[in-house]
Structure 1
Amino acid sequence: MDAPPDPTAGPLRTADPVHAAVPDELRELLHPVDGVEVTFYDPEDRDTIPGGGREVEVLALPMIAGPWLKRLDEVPGLRAVVLSSAGYEHVLPHLPEGIALANAVGVHDTATAELALTLMLASQRYLPRHVLSQQAQTWDRSTPEGQPWRSLADSTVLVLGYGGIGRALTRRLLASECEVLAVASTDKPGDDLVDSVCGITHLPDLLPRADILAISVPLTEETEGLVDAEALALLPDGALLVNVARGGVVDHEALLAECTSGRLRAALDVTDPEPLPDGHPLWSTPGVLVVPHVGGASPASFPRMASYLQGQLTAYRDSGRLEHQVAGPQA
């Protein structure tokens, strides 16, 4: 009697065409892939399992994937999942055993870096204050009490997380005439943008030099709570913390205390908790700018996701595995 298949052994490919289920939002953008049959599904239809009743080897999740995560084990024949987001920690608790998972590497780099730069410029040049003055129809050229005029030019920016988003942000910061300190998990050689990349163990030496701390690391066991009270205390007075990664990377109680005292400032696309509840003190703390996790919200997201998915379907057809796997067999 044959032994049952091992669910951890990885995808099993046959000569039959790959069947993939893809959200309707990519219907007009995804080009055909030889050897791959695609069934499109409506992400808003919570009653119908993607695939039209057939087995689905590769499931592409929509940009808003939350409602589908708890139903992954209902998709028959599923072997691989492709996310539309760069972050993936929220998927891991729902990923069935033996299923490969790939995140959307590179899809949102430009949009997220663009927002990070926007948050920096808005905070450094006090744009929220000027917007309020415009609403009041008041010509007010003053800075917030006790605050100097600031700029992005000639600032030192510590980019914590020198991956795709970090590199895209660094490219924009150099165009803005900043000094960039790049930090990754370990020491690495430089590239065309920076002379060297420092390992995360160098943070205590680098934080006191940073006018701006820009966070773009994924949320993992190693990075959860990485920017804690001790790390925040090392930043110089008046420094700006910009987070476009995940809220859990930062100790928000410690951040709130530093910003409430007026010693630090913050510009946040992500928070902990998220969504940030009504009435949370971060909403009204002076020097804090909060936007509702819109880093990847861009017209470029869908065509870039379609191009990325086309590459993933081609790779799976050829090898039986996804590129950029972050979980599952052979990750």
Structure 2
Amino acid sequence: MKPIQDIYPHLTTPRNVVITTHQKPDADAMGSSLAMYHFLTALGHSVTVVSPTNWAKWLDWMPGSAKVIDYELQRDRGEAALQQAQWVFCLDFNVLVRTKHMANTLRQGAYDRILIDHHQQPEVPLFTWGISDTAKSSTCEMVYDFIVGGGYGDRITPAIADCLYAGVMTDTGSFRFPSASASVHRMVADLKDRGLQHTLVHENIYDNFLENRLRFIGHILLHRMDLFYEYNTALISIPKKDLLRFEIKTGDTEGLVNWPLSIQGIKLAALVIDRDEERKWSFRSKGDFDVNTFARNYFEGGGHFNAAGGRSSDSLDGTVQRFLEAMKENALQLQ
């Protein structure tokens, strides 16, 4: 994989470009994809954003979201875009399995794949150009660096600024996580100078839900959260019947795993949701407990040191039992 900077001389030649990200894209994935879409379009490229799956409706405010192709629902359109592509930008993921049903097509394509990502253990041989930097707060921060590093800072429009801010804001927990470095705050200041309306972004991200989600959260915190103070751990386990009862849609559980971290003494928060095909895990931690390693060792997952995800094909009860065993095995690290 050649350094991402080596692509700069090629940016002035228009190409057919596809931008894609991981399944069920969050604000960082969608924000980085749409920011890159607006940037490359302004340079004269023919650009299509293809998401492997649907996304949360509260991301539909992002400029350009209406043009994103949902590969699961519009496979013919997605395949057509990929067949014509000369470049495929892969943002906010670094292993093709995270694109679900798109993985085989992405692996077999003759186009150049370009990686911009901040997760651990990338499939480096797959990419022609790229950058993988786990120290970065978000892929949106990295897209900002890519644009500015190429001398294109003047191309950052208010639409691009809004998309980039949404991703960096959410992936830093509204700037509370250690990844919110000085460079992140300098980036935000620059975006403000370029027209960012940060209050509107906050409202679109955090004040854009239906009543049922708030009632769902209350139900979950009251009935589905268990605390293990001897291990400084909180576990939320959500059965499928709760999702059906409250008519929970994609994105409605976003951020729920962070709630237990507000409890005094809690070092590890875990959330497992009973989905149709598998049980999906989210892990968050404070301090020196490495949930990336935890997720990789026990739940076929990974991510960042303090934020990771995983999966299990076991039943909900079975995967919860597995978590409890893993929690006890890591008791010393959780003290």
TM category, shorter: 0.3 to 0.5
**Which protein, 1 or 2, shows the higher relative CO under an 8 Å CA cutoff with sep ≥ 6?**
1
Q: Return the index of the structure with the highest Cα Rg.
A: 1
User: TM (normalized to structure 2)?
Assistant: 0.32
